Structure 1
């Protein structure tokens, strides 16, 4: 029964995110928002709703390992598998602004997280924690990111409006609002099922909460990003595909961990520091690949996917 509820939870997460993104994206398009902005915000935040729900519910239930492992594992999965598979299907064109601003912002999120969880090294404390004070710092960074996004929206809105006014289609507000709200409710309920049952299964097999968060939960809650980016790549919407991944990673660290740690301070296992370092290295690698001819090609996609396979082998052996 536990396994069945876990599967139901994942289905609700994935389908809920699908409906949420579909409805919210159409609302954003009706409001004349550019494709890059849709990827960085509506799509990214929508596909990150499972991570947010799982980590916040985990914090409420005192499962700090799941909350932390879920975010770090999801971000590594996004950069390696999601970017890798998407680039294999269709090389991702990278805008100059993305290289100069958005990817460095994702790097800032990773480095800020590393500093905040290094209490033993930097402050000679007995354990590593993300305190409530750290949570407010992360949310402050998220507010700065939102300010940047609003500036991008202000500059691009007129152009997007000109491109979209020629369609002549009337927005279906009621349908899109129902899709958005219904999807969000499915995400919340699905997140509760995933956390409860994944933790129970972990205890049965003697696995640590952090390992479950880094593997089962992280991959499960990252499936919306994977599905969305693959769909965008097939439709040759590189801006939405890459914006989704980068925006999700920024959202996961600044908003998800910020909110979760304010609800309940998160204890961080020492070995998770190395996972955060790996996340930083993967972000640097994505930046390097993006600067080569302003695209992430098929070869780079293979390299990123292989890195994730090696990482999975490492954490399974380690735990």
Structure 2
């Protein structure tokens, strides 16, 4: 197989590269969870901040590189659908993690101000993406004005999340099922420098795997005669989001519930920057105006799912249907409905 010439790959070759890269992303993403959890305790920044910034950004790196590479090659549909599809499936994964934690609903046990702030930030960023196509199709140096707004809103939002974590103006009611962030014994952990080196090395692996996924996904779309939206939502988004599923379940089993929730929501907020970065890489105008209707649909669906999650975090139902939160059930139904409509279309 000539990796230097993806255009000559067969469907089998493209599929092999795709699944190898997906496996690498899953393995590296699994390992990076433990490293981030230890960094949160070693540095004292807490699980919520570590989940939002370190875990969210690192586990999303593969998908980010894929979207930017696709945009650079002019594949706007794949770039945007991968970003928005990733947010949707990761929200779905949070509902799956709720099924794993049997003591109480995850929205109840992991209630925290930073998690709610992160979800509010995500809703605002998704709304900006949906708003952009209705603005004039103008760019400055090839970049639409919404892109710097997205970047600025994310940075300011993370500042608000950190401020809410350090000096919350209100706190959720503490119940016997509420699990708060309790640092582990740092004396039993590896040295801080070693943790940072391992963290950066794993991020590099995730980035390279994401870069290799893009040509493989394009080959699959072309050879199998599938739309780039289907490939982006059903293949690349799910494969690059495997770390979020694995890490959230691993964090739940470790008792790091705040990290599990903040890693998903923080990763979702970071994933909206895929679109901003893709707009910078896209050289044929505004990527927001190149979004197909299917991508707009997934942005709206993800916004709805995020709103349902926010209601669950506020409501804090202790036990729901089959020991799963009602909001988690609704999120799962919405995602599966979106998949059915996408495939049926």
What is the alpha-carbon root mean square deviation over aligned residues?
A: 2.6
Contact 2:90 2:264 in 1 (8 A): yes
Matching residue of 2:80: 68
Gaps of 5+ in 2: 1-12, 169-181
Tell me how far 1:170 sits from its aligned partner: 6.0
- The structure richer in helix per residue is 1
Q: C-alpha separation between the residues in 2 aligned to 1:204 and 1:148?
A: 46
Among 263, 266, 285, which residue is 2:281 paired with?
263
| 1:20-169 pair list within 5 angstroms | 20-80=32-92, 82-90=93-101, 91-92=105-106, 93-98=109-114, 100-119=116-135, 123=136, 131-152=143-164, 154-155=166-167, 164=183, 167-169=186-188
Among 328, 331, 334, which residue is 1:304 paired with?
331
- Which deviates more from structure 2 when the two are superposed, residues 89-98 or residues 184-193? 89-98
Gaps of 5+ in 1: 157-162
Deviations along 1:69-113, whole A, 9 cap, x unmatched?
Answer: 011111111222x12111111121242514752222111111111
Among 173, 189, 194, which residue is 2:213 paired with?
194
Contact 2:114 2:162 in 1 (8 A): no
Deviations along 1:40-84, whole A, 9 cap, x unmatched?
Answer: 22111122112211111212222211110011111111222x121
Tell me how far 1:268 sits from its aligned partner: 0.9
TM-score, normalised relative to structure 2: 0.80
Contact 1:19 1:179 in 2 (8 A): no
Among 227, 235, 238, which residue is 1:216 paired with?
235
**Residues 20, 99 of structure 1: alpha-carbon distance in 2 compared, 3 angstrom cutoff:** closer
Contact 1:21 1:42 in 2 (8 A): no
Q: C-alpha separation between the residues in 1 aligned to 2:310 and 2:319?
A: 9
Tell me how far 1:309 sits from its aligned partner: 1.9
| Count of aligned positions | 304
Tell me how far 1:167 sits from its aligned partner: 4.6
Matching residue of 2:304: 281
Find runs of 4+ consecutive structure 1 residues off by over 4 angstroms.
152-156, 163-167, 294-297
Matching residue of 1:242: 261
Tell me how far 1:207 sits from its aligned partner: 1.2
**Residues 281, 150 of structure 1: alpha-carbon distance in 2 compared, 3 angstrom cutoff:** closer
**Residues 195, 169 of structure 1: alpha-carbon distance in 2 compared, 3 angstrom cutoff:** same
Q: C-alpha separation between the residues in 1 aligned to 2:184 and 2:313?
A: 32
TM-score, normalised relative to structure 1: 0.86
- Is 2:244 the partner of 1:225? yes
Deviations along 1:205-246, whole A, 9 cap, x unmatched?
Answer: 211212211110111111111111111122232211111111
Q: C-alpha separation between the residues in 1 aligned to 2:114 and 2:19?
A: 36
